[in-house]
Structure 1
Amino acid sequence: MNNRQLFLSHLAQTTDFPLMIEIERAEGIYMYGPDGKEYIDLISGIGVSNIGHRHPKVIDAIKEQLDKYLHLMVYGEYVQSPQTLLAKAICETLPSHLDNVYLVNSGSEAVEGALKLAKRFTNRREIISCVNAYHGSSHGSLSVGGNEIFKRAYRPLLPGIKNVVYGSFQQLEEITENTAAFIVETIQGEAGIKVACSEYFQALRKKCDETGTILILDEIQAGFGRTGKFWAFEHFGIVPDILVCAKGMGGGMPIGAFIANKEVMGAFKNNPLLGHITTFGGHPVSSVASLATIRVIREEKLLDQVETKANLFKKLLVHPKIKSIRNKGLMMAVEFESFEVLKPIIDRAIKNGVITDWFLFCDDAMRIAPPLVITEEEIEKACGLILAAIEED
């Protein structure tokens, strides 16, 4: 049996129509099939490869760690320099009171930890999230998701969840002294790159302060430079109580984190002790890869280049079939008339050698979120292939 047959026979499937693209190696913005076919990855493995595939500094860090040790002990017991140095580096990107990092394995797990922490710290049970939010696929994170299509088959989920409209000032009144947490994507991703105004976030912050509600910002997609700031909340003049990240933080390795101040995080130490447990959280290989990722973003000044690159995409992607482009930095949604128009364009683009996608809750928009290391020449090449795919109809 070849790889494609093994994939279909023995690997659990999530749809009846997987893409079935076979990749043998990857480098920078490119992925390569067994026959040498070249694909430009314009979605960074869904927001993961922010600094490109197999960045040399990430690979070097991984190789160096492999010669020292792999897993040693469940999270939080042994002093391991990959974890401590990463936590310090993350805190250095943040306001000083966000000084405690809990390392986990994924975004969904980070959301689970953040929800538990908010409940434990406040001794409240109600959680508010947004319509068309996506926070992950495990039971807790799915409970605070905002799309019933993905939730209905798994009910009952967590009780005490309210959904409000992202960006609605009026619905901030739903936040009360019974609310443990308001969890929100700083930039709504799967809704098709929806960006609320600064005044909304400031009003949200004020309401949470007034009611003693924990504000959880989910930057699983938007963090680590994707929007042109290291953290997307920097655009809006607020700071969360708990920050959630994953995806782009690992340089291609699996890792996530939720971050708070020491007082809030301390709620996990007593009644009960070991209030949150993870076996592989902060795995040393993933941790060194994440530390290298932070250094690459800084040393290569990738944040300074995001807006220019995003503007070039918007300048080049002009076509009668493109209705609009929404973005915050290199987190972009290219809107078409319908899914029926968009899907064949995505399929033809893949044949042309450029990989894009749509959004879970917005199927009339093309997802573009390339590695931040993409060059202007590569942007021009990718946009040419997309425009050719549009014209091929």
Structure 2
Amino acid sequence: MSTGHDNHRLFHRHVAQTSPNPLGLEIVKAEGVYLYDRNGKEYLDLIGGISVCNTGHRHPRVVEAINEQTGRYLHLLVYGELIQTPQVQYAASLASHLPESLDSVYFTNSGAEATEGAMKLAKRLTGRTEIVAFNKSYHGSTQGALSIMGDEYWRNAFRPLLPGIHHVEYNSPEALDAITDRTACVIAETVQAERGVFAPDRVWLRQLRQRCDDTGALLVLDEIQTGFGRTGTLWGFQAYDVIPDVVLLGKALGGGLPMGAFIASRQRMWSLTGDPVLGHITTFGGHPLCCAAGHASLQVLLESGWIEEVSRKEALFRRLLVHPAIKEVRTCGLLIAVEYESFEQNKRVIDACIAAGLLTDWYLFAPHCLRIAPPLSITDAQIEKACATILSSSDFFH
């Protein structure tokens, strides 16, 4: 059996790294809202795997569903050929909790793949090639998703990327003017998460919907982080009285297992079946184990009452997170950004929190903002403990 030292060395030697300084915590167990390292240290998880673990880590009903499915079958054949009960039941359940025009689910392996599928669908349906996306937006890191990512810092090193992408400002009138009869689709996060939690203006989002209708462009809303109750409604767009043509899901979709989906009407999705046949295909998308886990997790969310408590818990965070070093607290349900003066200040707070047994992080386009996106099951007492740790960690500056 390997030692902690061996694993640490092997991690840095053989696991491809995404940054020069990964956290490097060796977690050996996770349950509920807690993680445990090799030495038995407990961490209150304030980011839930980046909005993945909405029902917590290893919820008993999710684990039970996984165990039951492993007794039946795992991978059988490429996606879409065989009738697999976990896929069918989960797709039907999702459709039953979405508007009628979003009744056809294409399961993928990740949110980024869902983005890619939606881009292809929009081009196939409209015969157009231009896409409108937004500055400070994040939709994944694959080549197509990277092309619509809203920050040149991440795009520049991998050019050339897709042509015909127009980046505009979120919530701006100019964004509406950028949508024309050459636009295949507009892709927007319902709430800009990686910017540090920026919600749309209600009127603007409705105008965006209308402009897409007027020009024949599809409106694609990215609910990869905001879906599954994160904002206080099952889907973020429910709060704005706007229905997208395509919705993107990921993160919490798999109940802790890797999964994404793009969802549209059956009529629209049918366009991918011909000219060419197999217009979109995946080997492992909609894996039965992931579907079983995700479906169980969705059922837990719908029955637990946690979504109904999101707004109250959001208010508790806002009431407690008051400190001279904190410039602003932006919230959309239990998606929260705590803004500091600089990344250096924020990183010092994050490091102090981790040392004190509270796991948190920063936002991709807002490194000066501390990320809070805990499991929706987090209790008031755990919120109070988390906030006390953040405040004491912020005392370095005052």
Q: Which bracket does the TM-score occupy, shorter chain normalised?
A: over 0.9
The alignment status of 1:203 with 2:233, answered yes or no, reads: no
Map of 1:29 onto structure 2: 33
Of 124, 129, 141 in structure 1, the residue corresponding to residue 133 of structure 2 is: 129
In structure 2, the partner of 1:288 is 292
Aligned to 2:24, what secondary structure does the other structure show?
coil
Give the counterpart of 2:246 among 242, 246, 249: 242
Tell me the distance in 1 between the aligned counterparts of 2:331 and 2:78.
Answer: 40
In the other structure, the counterpart of 2:372 is 368
Aligned equivalent of 2:23: 19
In the TM superposition, what is the alpha-carbon distance from 1:170 to its structure 2 partner?
2.9
Q: Distance in 1 between matches of 2:32 and 2:254?
A: 15
Residue-by-residue CA offset, 1:82-118 (whole Å, 9 max, x unaligned): 0000000100110111110000110000000000000
Report the secondary structure of 1:371's partner residue. coil
TM-score by length of 2: 0.98
Distance in 2, matches of 1:323 and 1:153, equals 33
The residue number in structure 2 matching 1:157 is 161
Deviation >4 Å, runs of 4+: none
- Kept in 2, the 8 Å contact 1:102–1:258? The answer is yes
Partner of 2:229 in structure 1? 225
Secondary structure at the counterpart of residue 49 of structure 2 = helix
The reply to whether residue 48 of structure 1 matches residue 24 of structure 2 is no
Which string of whole-angstrom CA distances, capped at 9 and with x for unpartnered residues, describes residues 258-283 of structure 1? 00001110110110010000000000
Q: Could you tell me how far apart the structure 2 residues matched to 1:376 and 1:366 are?
A: 20
C-alpha contact (below 8 Å) 2:101/2:245 kept by paired residues: no
Whether 1:318 aligns to 2:331 is no
Q: Which residue of 2 aligns with 1:192?
A: 196
Structure 2 residue aligned with 1:216, among 212, 217, 220?
220
- Report the secondary structure of 1:141's partner residue: helix
Task: Report if aligned partners of 1:359, 1:366 keep a CA contact under 8 Å in 2.
Answer: yes
Whether the aligned pair in 2 keeps the contact of 1:169 and 1:203 (CA below 8 Å) is no
CA RMSD, aligned part only?
0.8
Q: How does 1:1-393 map to 2 (within 5 A)?
A: 2-392=6-396
Q: Does the CA contact (< 8 Å) of 1:167 and 1:196 recur in 2?
A: yes
- How many Å separate the matches in 2 of 1:170 and 1:127? 15
- The letter for the 1-side match of 2:147 is S
Q: Residues 168 and 174 of structure 2 are in contact (CA less than 8 Å); yes or no, is this contact kept in structure 1? A: no
Which residues of structure 2 form unaligned runs of 5+?
Answer: none
TM (normalized to structure 1)? Answer: 0.99
Letter of the structure 2 residue corresponding to residue 349 of structure 1: C
Letter in 1 for 2:6: N
Structure 1 residue identity aligned to 2:126: T
- The one-character-per-residue Cα deviations of 1:32-68 (angstroms, maximum 9, x if unpaired) are 0011100011011111111100000000000000000
CA distance, structure 2, for counterparts of residue 113 and residue 134 of structure 1: 16
- Per-residue deviation, 1:302: 1.4
- 1 CA distance for matches of 2:13 and 2:99? 49
Q: Counterpart of 1:311 in 2: which secondary structure? A: helix
Measured in 2, the distance between the counterparts of 1:212 and 1:392 equals 54
The residue identity in structure 2 corresponding to 1:111 is T
Q: Secondary structure in 2 aligned to 1:172?
A: helix
Listed one character per residue, the Cα deviations across residues 115-140 of structure 1 (whole Å, up to 9, x for unaligned) are 00000010000000000110000000
Write the letter of the residue equivalent to 2:94. Answer: I
The 3-state SS of whatever aligns with 2:27 is: coil
Aligned residues: 393
Overall identity of the aligned pairs, in %: 50
Shift of 1:339: 1.0
1:334 is aligned with what amino acid? V
Paired residue type of 1:136 = G
* Aligned partner letter, 1:283: H
